[in-house]
């Protein structure tokens, strides 16, 4: 049976990423060696890193003066690296969910943290819009997409202070105006690569403004100066990321990714809004294109387990909602084909007919 | 042409690790999904982590009261995590090479660092043995194998204070008395897995003795409490590590790995000592079984490039010595077959005959 992979992350990747990575693990570039057993300093691996950096810059139209880094540790490690590198006195955070909160928690050990707004009281069902960013903050931190709650900031906001974004779960899903940010970072395991890789897009001259000592590995300058090769980087995930970046380019770039994301999201949100059994959990204007969260309407709540079984039997994978929202979550990352969304919609319609 | 992979790291892995990982990337456990696109919290991935932890404990005979962690970031990140978690006032380090020095450098930001001994003046050609570990040090840090210089500490030393070892490049190459250490850590990319995974063996009750705040991701307690799942761990490298651990067990465990390592090292060191062209760089009593470093004797120095070409043409890969030692380095990790060492020895003999 055909599986429809709605996993929230690690999640579906392009078939070419999967096949090419498997091939390279058996034989990298016809070298007779596995991708897993070559040196990261081998002369045929450097072009992999170089091309991945170049495609990042090309696809996101990254201006001069920015570096692209490939690191380990995950976005969670960035939560403390960001204040380590940027927080001298005060930082501003927008609290839009669990990940924003975790980022904020780490920052508190480094200086004053101002929560400019929060939707915690509404279980993060919306993205706050009326807030004031303190003009004396060292930076303003946002989470562009809230995987758990299915909300998203789909515009590049104007910030009076340096803007830093965790874009773990919606990077490469739309064109971004990178010049509005001093840093964009994320775990690669949604739209890019398998788990174990963190990407960082960073404005070089935004660094060097804190007075504290920064441990070498936590200092972005280290990784800029060494082209992500200060220590051994995650070779296999970087190779996989390159395959995905090539795929995005071949498919038409981030503009086309956005067109498809809108098309898929419209299909599913329209069905959620139409179907008598289901209701979306996020405020309509803040709905994420990446993670589509919905529950059974109150009067049908006792059918949730049944629908989960029904959909699973029809090949849907990973549609269980996060425990803090409940219900269902269909993650529709770049690599998810429209057919999978159509299959889920068909499930919802068929199930509705039975009840 | 058959390649003989003497890479220093990332380096040769068992064929079964390579093949099984490639297979799982195409289809994990017959699930119809790639290993790269399943959730780390999927019910069929937890057994992978559990078995890998269990095999760590079994193969290294790890006593009760220790945890095994799988993290990202590499051993270089551990260099600052160790003092973050253990250094309250004073730490002792044995300086046996570049990696030891880097570890020491990070510690200096956290407290007093005592270098108990150093072989820096002799370009790290030996492992210092006469030194006194301060009785009031919070811990004593050693590097068990010095990849660049080809020296190794092959016994589990007695330390009056908690002992911490970076065993990146010789883990699983011999039985260890883990009870003598409070922590053993390393990058996985030598004897275990592809790059992107760090292993940590840690004594649970050794933690909690520093008064500073530790960022969540840098706190070992976080990862112990969450079974390495506080954030998304490097799924593919963990799966590969499991394949290698199974292979080690099937082959007879670490005792057998040690027997083979001694056999391979004897073969190569004997040839280095016999051959009129070559000379070993490390003190004989400290010679590493993992990284075998040698140069051309002074009178034949101008033949180095020729031998490199000669050996490369015969399938030898990765035998160029590190720039700080020069000459050649043959890394003979667990997965390197004896045949590869025999092929290198044959090269050396053939080249000798021609000169």
Contact call for A72 and B75, based on CB within 8 A: no
Residue B164, beta-bridge partner list: B141, B183
pLDDT band at B43 (very low <50, low <70, confident <90, very high): confident
Please provide the CATH number assigned to the domain covering A253-354.
Answer: 3.90.1150.10
- Min Cα separation A196/chain B (Å): 4
A40 → closest Cβ in B17, B79, B195:
B195
Q: Give CA angle at A7 (A3, A8), nearest 5°.
A: 165
pLDDT of residue B1: 81
The reply to whether A151 sits in an annotated binding site is no
Residue that is written with structure tokens 């990973």 in the block: A318
Mutation to test the B interface, candidates A8, A72, A76, most B Cβ within 10 Å = A72
Task: Give pLDDT tens digits for A14-39.
Answer: 999 999 999 999 999 999 999 999 99
What does the pLDDT average to over A321-349?
A: 97
* Chain B, nearest residue to A102 by Cα: B216
pLDDT band at B42 (very low <50, low <70, confident <90, very high): confident
Size of interface A-B (CB pairs under 8 A): 201
The reply to whether B99 sits in an annotated binding site is yes
pLDDT band at B116 (very low <50, low <70, confident <90, very high): very high
Q: Is the dihedral of CA B151, B156, B158, B162 positive or negative?
A: positive
Mutation to test the B interface, candidates A236, A238, A335, A337, most B Cβ within 10 Å = A236
Enclosing H/E stretch for B263: helix B253-274
What does the pLDDT average to over B270-289?
A: 98
pLDDT of residue A43: 86
Which residues, at least 6 apart from A93, have a Cβ–Cβ distance to it below 8 Å?
A100, A103, A104, A107, A113, A114, A115, A116, A140, A141, A142
User: Distance between CA atoms of B17 and B173, rounded to whole angstroms?
Assistant: 17
Residue that is written with structure tokens 């002799």 in the block: B122
Cα end-to-end distance, chain A, whole Å? 25
Number of other residues whose CB lies within 10 A of the CB of residue A255 = 10
Residues of B forming the active site: 99, 166, 190
Which residues, at least 6 apart from B2, have a Cβ–Cβ distance to it below 8 Å?
A32, B315, B343
Q: Mean pLDDT across chain A, nearest whole number?
A: 97
Report the percentage of chain B scoring pLDDT > 90.
Answer: 98
B-chain residues near A76 (CB < 8 A)? 216-217, 230-231
Contact call for B76 and A234, based on CB within 8 A: no
DSSP A320: B
pLDDT of residue A74: 95
Residue that is written with structure tokens 């990446």 in the block: A290
Number of other residues whose CB lies within 10 A of the CB of residue A346 = 12
CATH topology of domain B15-251: 3.40.640
CATH topology of domain B254-354: 3.90.1150
Q: Mean pLDDT across chain B, nearest whole number?
A: 97
Report the percentage of chain B scoring pLDDT > 70.
Answer: 100
User: Distance between CA atoms of A185 and A85, rounded to whole angstroms?
Assistant: 14
Contact of A249 with A59, CB cutoff 8 Å:
yes
Residue that is written with structure tokens 């000798």 in the block: B352
pLDDT band at A9 (very low <50, low <70, confident <90, very high): very high
pLDDT band at A1 (very low <50, low <70, confident <90, very high): confident
Please provide the DSSP assignment of B211-246 as one string: -S---GGG-HHHHHHTTT-SS---HHHHHHHHHHHH
Q: Is the dihedral of CA A6, A9, A11, A14 positive or negative?
A: positive
Report the percentage of chain A scoring pLDDT > 70.
Answer: 100
Closest CA to A9 of A173, A178, A141, A193: A193
pLDDT of residue A148: 97
Burial, B184: exposed, middle or buried (Cβ in 10 Å; 0-12, 13-18, 19+)? buried
Enclosing H/E stretch for A151: strand A151-152
Task: Give pLDDT tens digits for A170-181.
Answer: 999 999 999 999
pLDDT of residue A246: 98
DSSP A63: P
User: Distance between CA atoms of B167 and B188, rounded to whole angstroms?
Assistant: 10
Q: What is the distance, to the nearest Å, from the Cα of residue B279 to the centroid of all Cα atoms in its chain?
A: 24
- Min Cα separation A225/chain B (Å): 16
Task: Give pLDDT tens digits for B232-260.
Answer: 999 999 999 999 999 999 999 999 999 99
Q: Give CA angle at A160 (A159, A164), nearest 5°.
A: 45
Kindly provide the ipTM of the predicted complex, given to two decimals: 0.97
User: Distance between CA atoms of B324 and A20, rounded to whole angstroms?
Assistant: 36
B-chain residues near A21 (CB < 8 A)? 25, 36
* Chain A, nearest residue to B35 by Cα: A194
The reply to whether B335 sits in an annotated binding site is no
Task: Give pLDDT tens digits for A199-254.
Answer: 999 999 999 999 999 999 999 999 999 999 999 999 999 999 999 999 999 999 99
Q: Is the dihedral of CA A270, A271, A272, A276 positive or negative?
A: positive
Residue that is written with structure tokens 């010789």 in the block: B170
Domain ranges within chain B, ordered by starting residue: 15-251, 254-354
Classify strands A145-146 and A151-152 as parallel, antiparallel or unpaired: antiparallel
| Tokens of residue B175, six digits | 């039985």
């Amino acid at each position: 049976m055909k599986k429809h992979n709605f996993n929230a992350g690690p999640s579906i990747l392009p078939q070419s990423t999967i096949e090419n990575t498997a091939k390279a693990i058996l034989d990298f570039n016809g070298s007779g060696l596995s991708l897993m057993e070559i040196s990261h300093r081998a002369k045929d691996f450097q072009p992999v890193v170089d091309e991945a950096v170049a495609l990042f810059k090309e696809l996101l139209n990254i201006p001069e003066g920015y570096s692209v880094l490939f690191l380990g540790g995950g976005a969670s490690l960035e939560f403390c690296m960001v204040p380590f590198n940027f927080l001298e006195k005060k930082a501003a955070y927008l609290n839009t969910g669990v990940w924003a909160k975790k980022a904020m928690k780490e920052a508190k050990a480094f200086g004053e943290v101002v929560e400019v707004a929060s939707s915690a009281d509404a279980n993060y069902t919306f993205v706050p819009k009326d807030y004031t960013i303190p003009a004396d903050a060292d930076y303003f931190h946002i989470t562009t997409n809230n995987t758990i709650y299915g909300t998203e900031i789909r515009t590049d906001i104007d910030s009076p202070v340096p803007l830093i974004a965790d874009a773990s779960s919606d990077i490469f899903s739309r064109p971004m105006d990178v010049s509005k940010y001093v840093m964009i970072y994320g775990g690669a395991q949604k739209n890019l690569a398998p788990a174990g890789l963190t990407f960082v897009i960073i404005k070089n001259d935004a660094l060097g403004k804190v007075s504290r000592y920064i441990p070498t590995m936590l200092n972005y300058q280290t990784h800029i100066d060494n082209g992500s090769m200060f220590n051994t980087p995650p070779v296999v995930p970087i190779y996989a990321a390159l395959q995905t970046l090539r795929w995005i380019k071949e498919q038409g770039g981030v503009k086309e990714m956005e067109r498809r994301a809108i098309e898929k999201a419209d299909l599913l949100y329209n069905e959620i809004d139409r179907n008598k059994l289901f209701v979306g959990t996020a405020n309509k204007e803040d709905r994420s294109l990446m993670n589509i969260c919905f529950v059974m309407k109150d009067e049908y709540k006792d059918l949730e387990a049944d629908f989960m079984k029904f959909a699973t039997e029809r090949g849907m994978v990973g549609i269980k909602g996060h425990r803090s929202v409940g219900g269902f979550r269909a993650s529709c990352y770049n690599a998810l084909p429209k057919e999978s969304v159509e299959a889920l919609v068909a499930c919802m319609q068929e199930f509705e007919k039975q009840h």
